[in-house]
Amino acid sequence: MSDRLPPLQIQVDSEYVEAQSEPQTDHYLFKYTVLMENRSEQFLTLTHRHWKITDGHGKTSEVSGEGVVGQTPKLAPGEIFQYSSSVALSTPIGSMQGFYTLLSDDGQVLQSPIARFRLLNPRSLH
């Protein structure tokens, strides 16, 4: 097991988007904002993302694709990149986790994990 830190420091904040949700039809929209910082000593290009999305019933789906929000950002050492996206669930509670795949300037393919974070309609808890 390596003691090396992941190449990116990642923080995710999520919020329920009430105006674009329709609980009566089991449609709950969540916005999430990702803040990432390049902690390595090299330029890193974010090439792919992989998400595991779990709803309140434990049903999971996986989403993979190139870059994030149509971009493949290249981050200098210490540089910060932020983006927002959204996900719809059929339940008012869920979670997401995953990883980013990165390419370093010296040709290494790296992965940086994204810790599990909650998706929650605050009105669903009594």
Q: What is the CATH number of the domain that holds 12?
A: 2.60.40.1470
Phi (first) and psi of residue 84, to 5 degrees? -125, 145
Q: Which residue has the higher pLDDT, 3 or 12?
A: 12
Would residue 2 count as lying in a domain?
no
The number of domains in the chain is 1
Question: Is 123 a domain residue?
Answer: no
> What confidence score (pLDDT) does residue 4 get?
66
* Full domain range(s) for residue 108: 8-118
Compute the average pLDDT of residues 79-97. 98
Q: Which comes out higher in pLDDT, residue 124 or 9?
A: 9
Q: Judge whether residue 1 has pLDDT over 80.
A: no
In a domain, 82, yes or no: yes
Q: What are phi and psi of 25, to 5 degrees?
A: -115, 20
Look at residue 126 and tell me if it is in a domain. Answer: no
Residue 124 lies in a domain: no
Place of tokens 């810790």: 115
Q: Is the pLDDT of residue 11 over 60?
A: yes
pLDDT score of 101: 97
16 in any annotated domain: yes
**Cα dihedral across residues 120, 16, 99, 62: positive or negative:** positive
96-124, pLDDT tens digit by residue? 999 999 999 999 999 999 999 999 998 87
Q: How many CA atoms lie within 13 A of 30 on its CB side?
A: 26
What pLDDT is stored for residue 35 in this prediction? Answer: 98
Tokens read off for 42? 């090299």
Q: Please write the tens of the pLDDT for every residue from 15-35.
A: 999 999 999 999 999 999 999
